[in-house]
Amino acid sequence: MTSESQFEDRLAEGLRATSSSPDVEWSTDRVVADAMGRSRQASNKWALPLVAIAFATAAVLVIALIQTTPPPGSESGEGLKPAGATVAGKDYLVSFARSLQVDPSQITPFAPVESTTEAAFMGELVAYSLDGVNPSVALVVPAAEGAADQGGSIGDYVLLVRGNGAFAALCDYFDPASPATPDVCRR
Amino acid sequence: MESIAIAADQSLDGRLAQIRARDSRAFRELVELLDGDLLRLCILIAADSELARDAVQETWTRLWTRPPKLRNPARLRSWLLSVAANEVRQSMRRARLAGAHAPIEPPASPQASSAEVIDLRNALARLNHSDRELLALKYLFGMDSPEISIHLGASAANVRTRLHRIITRLRKELRDDE
C-alpha cells in the first residue's frame, strides 16, 4: 500500500469520525414524524392565505381580461412580460425547446426554482444543470405531465436561458435535423 | 479504500413511486437507509450539526411533500444528496446574513477525540465548504470523479484537479501539524 493510499484511508476514517454527531442523529421515527408533521403544518398554514390569494387573483384576472381583451382582428400578445424564472438568485428566460433531447443521466439537480411566471408548465420546481453546460447560461426544469401550448406538447423539459449565445451552448442537446431546432444549432 | 456502504441505487428504483403514492412505510425505510448519509454530508459542508440536521429535515420534508419526478428513479439518492447539500448551503448563507453563524468549528463527537482526528478537523475547518463537500463525496460516499462531476455539475477533469489540490494541501497541513 502506498503512502498516498494510506493517507487517503486515514482521511476517510477521519472524515467519518468528524462527520459523526450523535447529538443530532434523530431516530427514524422522529425524522419521519417531523417531515410528515411539517408537511401537514405547511398545508394548514397556507390553506387560508392561498384561498385568499386565489380569490384576489381571480378578481384581478377578470378585471384585467375585461380591460385588455383586444378588439377582434387586432394583434394580441404585445406588451406581455417575458416568461421568466429565478434560480439561485439569477434571472433566466423561460423557453420551450421541443427538439431538445436530454437523457436523464445528463442532468443534475442544481437549485430550486425560486420564482417563475411559468410554474404551470413545470413538473417540479427544481432546476437541473446539463452536463457540459454552464448552469449560469442554461438550465432545464422537467415539464409538467402533458404540458402543452398552442403548438402542442412542449416536450419533456422547460429550458431556462441567460444571456446571448445560450442556445449555442446547447447545440449538443438539439436534434440538428429538427425544424424546431434554433438556427445556430442547425447543420 | 473503504467508504460508507450505500445500498445500490437500483434498490431505490421503486421507492420513489411508492413515496409518490404516499406510502409512509417506504418513506420510513428510505429515511432509515439514507438519513445518516445526508447528515454526514451536511455536517461536513456546514461544520455545524444543528444547521445540518435542519437541512436534512428540510430535505425529507420536501421529498414527502413534493417528491420529484425523476426520469431515472435510480438517481433518487443523488437527488437527495444534492438537495441536502443545497439546503445546508442556503442555511449557511442565511445564517451568515443574519450574523448568526459562528466561525467554522466542526462538531465534537466521542469518536472524534483522537489527536489525529482533531488535527484533521482543524485542517478541514480551514477548507471552504465546497472543498469539504468534494471530500465527502469522494471519501464518505466512495464516488469517483465522473460521478462527482455529475453531482456537482463540473467537469471530471476539474474534479480531479480540485481533489488533487485539496489532498496535497491536507497532507502538507497535517504533516506540518505533526
Q: pLDDT tens-digit profile of B72-92?
A: 777 888 889 988 998 888 888
How many structural domains comprise chain B?
1
Domain assignment of residue A162, given as a range: 84-185
pLDDT for position A81: 59
pLDDT for position B27: 92
> Is A104 part of a structural domain of the chain?
yes
CA distance B150 to B69: 18
The answer on pLDDT for A6 being more than 50 is yes
The pairing of strands A148-149 and A84-87 is unpaired
Residue A20 neighbours by CB under 8 Å, 6+ apart: B40, B43, B109, B111, B112
Who has greater pLDDT, B62 or A66?
B62
pLDDT bucket at A74, cuts 50 / 70 / 90: very low
The alpha carbon torsion through A164, A166, A167, A170 (nearest 10 deg) reads 160
Domain assignment of residue B53, given as a range: 2-176
Q: Mark yes or no for CB contact B39/A24 under 8 Å.
A: yes
Please give the DSSP secondary-structure letter assigned to residue B102: P
Contact status of B35 with chain A (Cβ, < 8 Å) = yes
> Is A127 part of a structural domain of the chain?
yes
Q: Are A152 and A137 spatial neighbours (Cβ–Cβ below 8 Å)?
A: no
- Nearest CA distance, A62 vs chain B (angstrom): 31
Q: Are B130 and B165 spatial neighbours (Cβ–Cβ below 8 Å)?
A: no
A154 and A99 fall within a common domain = yes
ipTM of the complex: 0.75
pLDDT for position A169: 83
The answer on pLDDT for A153 being more than 90 is no
The most confident of the ranges A144-148, A155-159, B160-164, B171-175 is B160-164
Of A23, A31, A39, the CB nearest to B65: A39
The most confident of the ranges A110-124, A135-149, B46-60 is B46-60
A48 and A132 fall within a common domain = no
Of B3, B49, B117, the CB nearest to A21: B49
pLDDT for position A44: 58
Task: From A68, A100, A124, give the residue that closes a domain.
Answer: A68
Q: What is the pLDDT averaged over residues A74-85?
A: 57
A88 and A52 fall within a common domain = no
Contact status of B25 with chain A (Cβ, < 8 Å) = no
A171 and A91 fall within a common domain = yes
% residues pLDDT > 90 (chain A): 6
User: pLDDT of B18-71, one tens digit each?
Assistant: 898 888 899 999 999 999 999 999 999 988 888 999 999 999 999 998 888 777
Residue with cell 422522529: A30
The answer on pLDDT for A75 being more than 60 is no
pLDDT bucket at B169, cuts 50 / 70 / 90: very high
A168 and A88 fall within a common domain = yes
From chain A, pick out residues whose CB is under 8 angstroms from the CB of B112: 17-18, 20
- Lowest model confidence (mean pLDDT) among A119-123, B30-34, B75-79, B93-97: B93-97
A143 and A56 fall within a common domain = no
Q: Mark yes or no for CB contact A17/B109 under 8 Å.
A: yes
How many structural domains comprise chain A?
2
pLDDT bucket at B161, cuts 50 / 70 / 90: very high
A106 alpha-carbon distance from chain centroid: 15
Q: Mark yes or no for CB contact A18/B120 under 8 Å.
A: yes
Query: Which of A4, A13, A15, A19 best probes binding to B when mutated, by most B CB atoms within 10 angstroms?
Result: A19
Q: B residues 136-155 near A, CB within 8 Å? A: 136, 139-140, 150-153, 155
Contact status of B86 with chain A (Cβ, < 8 Å) = yes
Q: Are B65 and B22 spatial neighbours (Cβ–Cβ below 8 Å)?
A: no
- Nearest CA distance, A40 vs chain B (angstrom): 9
Q: What is the pLDDT averaged over residues B7-24?
A: 76
pLDDT for position B11: 67
Q: Mark yes or no for CB contact A108/B66 under 8 Å.
A: no
> Is A168 part of a structural domain of the chain?
yes
From chain B, pick out residues whose CB is under 8 angstroms from the CB of A132: 155
CA distance A127 to A158: 9
The most confident of the ranges A155-159, B1-5, B32-36 is B32-36
Task: Give the chain B residue whose CA is nearest to the CA of A135.
Answer: B153
- Lowest model confidence (mean pLDDT) among A34-43, B25-34, B88-97: A34-43
Please give the DSSP secondary-structure letter assigned to residue A14: H
A63 and A89 fall within a common domain = no
